[in-house]
């Protein structure tokens, strides 16, 4: 089996990625047009952190984005969530 080249991947993935970025940009624009302020909301900080992760030159972006959007692990999670 031959490895996929970056050009082949770009040919295959560009339109999908383009659409996802446009969806994300439109969602963030809606926040800009909305009333109020979410600067102190931790979820907004998570979104900002993931944008920085995606723009970074380092690898493992999916893993780092997942961690940024996840709750911290708690040994007591069963009690906290009633499981």
pTM for the model stands at 0.78
Verify that 73 and 49 share a domain, yes or no: yes
Amino acid 16: pLDDT: 98
Verify that 42 and 72 share a domain, yes or no: yes
Verify that 82 and 58 share a domain, yes or no: yes
Phi, psi of 57, deg, nearest 5: -80, -5
Structurally, the chain folds into a number of domains equal to 2
Contacts of 77 (CB under 8 A, 6+ apart): 83
Full pLDDT tens readout for the chain, 83 residues: 789 999 999 999 999 999 999 999 999 999 999 999 999 999 999 999 999 999 999 899 999 999 999 988 889 989 988 98
Verify that 32 and 44 share a domain, yes or no: no
Amino acid 18: pLDDT: 98
Amino acid 12: pLDDT: 97
Amino acid 82: pLDDT: 92
- The range of the structural domain enclosing residue 45 comes to 38-83
**DSSP letter string, the chain:** -PPPPHHHHHHHHHHHHHHHHHHHHHHHHHHHHSSS--TT-HHHHHHHHHHHHHHSSSS-HHHHHHHHTSPPP-TTHHHHTT-
Verify that 32 and 43 share a domain, yes or no: no
């Amino acid at each position: 089996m031959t490895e996929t080249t970056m050009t082949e991947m770009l040919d295959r993935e560009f339109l999908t990625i383009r659409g996802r970025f446009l969806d994300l940009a439109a969602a963030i624009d809606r926040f800009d047009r909305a009333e109020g302020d979410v600067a102190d909301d931790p979820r907004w900080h998570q979104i900002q952190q993931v944008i920085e992760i995606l723009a970074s030159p380092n690898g493992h972006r999916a893993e780092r984005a997942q961690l940024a959007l996840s709750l911290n692990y708690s040994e007591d999670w069963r009690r906290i969530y009633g499981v």
